[in-house]
Structure 1
Amino acid sequence: MIKEANTYNRLMRLLLLSEGIWWTLVLIGYALLPLDRFGVKLLHPEMLGLWVVIPLLATGSWMQWSWKARIYQEYSGYGSTRMLWVKFEPMKAFLHYFLLRSTYFFVVLAMAQPVAGSKKVNGSKRILDLVICLDISNSMNTKDMGGTEVSRLTAAKQAIGELLNQLKGERIAVVVFANDAYTQLPLTMDYGAAKLFVPDIETSMISDQGTNIGRALEVAQEQFKDTESGKAILVITDGEDHEALWKKQLEELKKKHVELAYLGLGSTKGGLIPNNPYDISDGYKRENGQAVVSKIDKNGLTKMATESGSILVTSDSPFPNIYDIATNYKNTKNKQVMKVEFNVDKNYFYVPTILALLCMICYFFLPIIINPNKA
């Protein structure tokens, strides 16, 4: 029995020696091998922190073997006891531990995803450039959205914010217009920047008042410089277009395959146009001594949408339903599929995965590999 106890002690020394050699080789390889020269790196190096379980596994095995050593020493000379019904096989015990911890070691290394070099991959992506044309004529200050609480311009800003929340991957630009138009925000995928710009838009930005949708469409087309992108324009207005110049732009839009949509805001009952949207005491706009009542021009909007084959959504809600328009932009046939070629890292995660699998197979077939009768 003393011989068995000494066997346990030698086994524990073998455990410490093997772990010391293993981790020394790992550290030497990491410190001395020119991994950077070959472009070797780990995509998820933080996963290596899971190796902390290995010392815990070694400590557990050491405690188990130490306990068995004490039992063997305590019961040495007492003959056969119920504590000794299992014949101890030191080599099999060590190999069980070594193969199990090696399997775990390589699994963690595979999870860290070692990569080296790169390769070219052909792919595609669907892209769409969307220009939002926002009417900021004085009539957009009319508060007839959901009663008399919210102006059309405020509802328009809220609609744009909701649209930005629903879009994904489209490039957007914002053009503001009245009788003239200019680009407020060039094409960008930075929706956060757009959400900062839009709330600051006011009707006072353009002194040349009126509603010239044709001019807005003309300025919007200046954003379409990428011939490989799908193109779309959303016009948000109350529809009171007094210029009727939009017809001249329809042919250009058709030639460039630009998809057009309209969001009409305002009520059929209408409301008064304030002279100063920030101070109602300044009164309302008047013509020939009569207060001017501004209503949504549904007939005009319907005509524009019909002639251009466009989607038209009208609303008198403070929070216009933008879902149909957003869904259309996500699924539009105008969203182009562009062929792209890009480099990706060559991932060698399968190498440690194969090593882990081999260790696991050896672990399960160990009783066959080692004859317990010779232990």
Structure 2
Amino acid sequence: MIKGKSTYNHLVKLLAVSEAIWWSLVLICYVLVPFDSWGVKLLHSEMLGLWLLIPALAALSWIQWRWKARIYEQYSGYGSTRMLWVKFEPVKAFLHYFLLRSTYFFIVLAMAQPVAGSRKVNGSKRVLDLVICLDISNSMNTKDMGGNQSSRLTAAKQAIGELLNQLKGERIAVVIFANDAYTQLPLTMDYGAAKLFVPDIETSMISDQGTNIGRALEVAQDQFKDTESGKAILVITDGEDHEALWKQQLEKLKKKHVELAYLGLGSTKGGLIPNNPYDESEGYKREYGHAVVSKIDKQGLTRMASASGSILVTSDSPFPNIYDIATNYKNAKNKQVMKVEFKVDKNYFYIPATLALLCMICYFFLPIIINPDKS
């Protein structure tokens, strides 16, 4: 049996030398020879900060060794019977620390997830391209929603915002139309951008007034360039289509398997169309000396929906319920399965994890592996 002080001093030196060698090698590997030069990178390099706890483990081991050395010195003259519980083998003590420290070291390295190279993976995803056609004819300024609380255009913007909140993964585009139509927002999955664009839409954006739903459907189809995606169009309007050109587009929509839906806004009682939506004191639209009363054209909307077998939802609420429309778009039958091939990093976390497991096994079986000397 080695005496306490000499044992303690031997262990401290062994600890200092081993740690110096260990961290010198780590420093060389991580700084002087960066992982990038090996084609290796760490997905979560911030996890390496947990290595800073290793000095705390070394400090605890040092405190324990010093305590054992003092106890050993105190009872060294009381015979082997009193010394059984204070046996102090330096090799075993150091290996216990080394294996425990190494286990923790490799676990942290595994958590950092070293990756190198990539591999191809085949998969599939369900995709849907949705184009929202928003009517911005002057009649959409009529305030007959919710008992004259807000305009149809305001309610339409509210409906689009709620729809965006319910969609997940669909690409969306926005087309504005009156007598002509324009793409306001091309297809995107950036719902945040859409939520910024939509509130700024006003009826003054198109000077050529009227309600040409057929033209809106024609412009909307220009967004469907990805043949592998599901296709859908949502028309938000008060239904006063003065052009009746939408029938010409139905056959094209059927050939392209485009699903069509309508959201009709306005009340059956109707309301006046303001000349200036921001200042009603400028009066209302008049024809033949009489104020024009704009009403939702439910018959026209029903006719259009029936002709294409489309969903039709009408509302006179300032917060239209678009649950049925959103549910229909989220339904898997409306989405096409598109095969995709993508690359993923080759993750080698299992190598340090295996080393950690081996160190832990050796830690538990160390008393069997090493037979301590008996004094």
Distance apart, 1:3 and its partner CA: 1.5
Partner residue in 1 for 2:251: 251
CA distance in 2, matches of 1:46, 1:256: 49
CA distance in 2, matches of 1:218, 1:89: 87
Greater mean alpha carbon deviation, residues 260-269 or residues 281-290: 281-290
Residues 130-162 of structure 1, C-alpha deviations (whole Å, 9 max, x = no match): 111000111111111111120000110111112
Identity value in percent: 86
Partner residue in 2 for 1:184: 184
Residues 324-345 of structure 1, C-alpha deviations (whole Å, 9 max, x = no match): 2222222242322211112211
Tell me which amino acid in the other structure corresponds to 1:150. S
Distance apart, 1:183 and its partner CA: 1.3
CA contact (8 A) 1:261 1:311 kept: yes
CA contact (8 A) 2:71 2:86 kept: no
Tell me which amino acid in the other structure corresponds to 1:335. K
Partner residue in 2 for 1:24: 24
Partner residue in 2 for 1:363: 363
Partner residue in 1 for 2:227: 227
Give the SS at the match of 2:3.
helix
| Alignment CA distance shift 1:155-1:83 (3 Å) | farther
Superposed CA RMSD: 2.0
CA distance in 1, matches of 2:5, 2:224: 83
Q: Is 2:20 the partner of 1:46?
A: no
CA distance in 2, matches of 1:21, 1:62: 18
Distance apart, 1:84 and its partner CA: 6.5
CA distance in 1, matches of 2:71, 2:357: 35
Partner residue in 1 for 2:207: 207
CA distance in 1, matches of 2:119, 2:100: 34
CA distance in 1, matches of 2:83, 2:48: 40
Distance apart, 1:320 and its partner CA: 1.2
Distance apart, 1:374 and its partner CA: 4.7
Question: Where in structure 2 are the equivalents of 1:1-375 lying within 5 Å?
Answer: 3-33=3-33, 35-77=35-77, 85-374=85-374
Greater mean alpha carbon deviation, residues 187-196 or residues 299-308: 187-196
Structure 1, unpaired ranges of 5+: none
Give the SS at the match of 1:209.
coil
CA contact (8 A) 1:2 1:72 kept: no
CA distance in 1, matches of 2:88, 2:82: 14
Give the SS at the match of 2:333.
coil
CA distance in 2, matches of 1:39, 1:28: 16
CA distance in 2, matches of 1:359, 1:265: 70
Residues 197-254 of structure 1, C-alpha deviations (whole Å, 9 max, x = no match): 2111111122222111111101111111222222111100011112221111110000
Distance apart, 1:292 and its partner CA: 1.9
Give the SS at the match of 1:362.
helix
CA contact (8 A) 2:126 2:332 kept: no
CA distance in 2, matches of 1:80, 1:363: 27
Distance apart, 1:82 and its partner CA: 6.8
| Alignment CA distance shift 1:143-1:187 (3 Å) | same
CA distance in 1, matches of 2:370, 2:253: 79
Distance apart, 1:373 and its partner CA: 5.0
TM-score of the superposition, structure 2-length normalised?
A: 0.94
| Alignment CA distance shift 1:143-1:89 (3 Å) | same
CA distance in 1, matches of 2:29, 2:274: 77
Give the SS at the match of 1:174.
strand
CA contact (8 A) 2:236 2:264 kept: yes
Distance apart, 1:81 and its partner CA: 9.0
CA distance in 2, matches of 1:39, 1:368: 41
Greater mean alpha carbon deviation, residues 163-172 or residues 93-102: 163-172
CA distance in 2, matches of 1:362, 1:121: 38
Tell me which amino acid in the other structure corresponds to 2:280. I
Distance apart, 1:192 and its partner CA: 2.1
Distance apart, 1:363 and its partner CA: 1.2
Give the SS at the match of 1:156.
helix
CA contact (8 A) 2:75 2:82 kept: no
CA distance in 2, matches of 1:19, 1:361: 22
Distance apart, 1:72 and its partner CA: 2.5
Residues 66-116 of structure 1, C-alpha deviations (whole Å, 9 max, x = no match): 122223334443557978733223222221111111111000000000011
CA contact (8 A) 1:127 1:230 kept: yes
CA contact (8 A) 1:132 1:236 kept: yes
Greater mean alpha carbon deviation, residues 332-341 or residues 52-61: 332-341
CA contact (8 A) 1:142 1:273 kept: yes
CA contact (8 A) 1:172 1:186 kept: yes
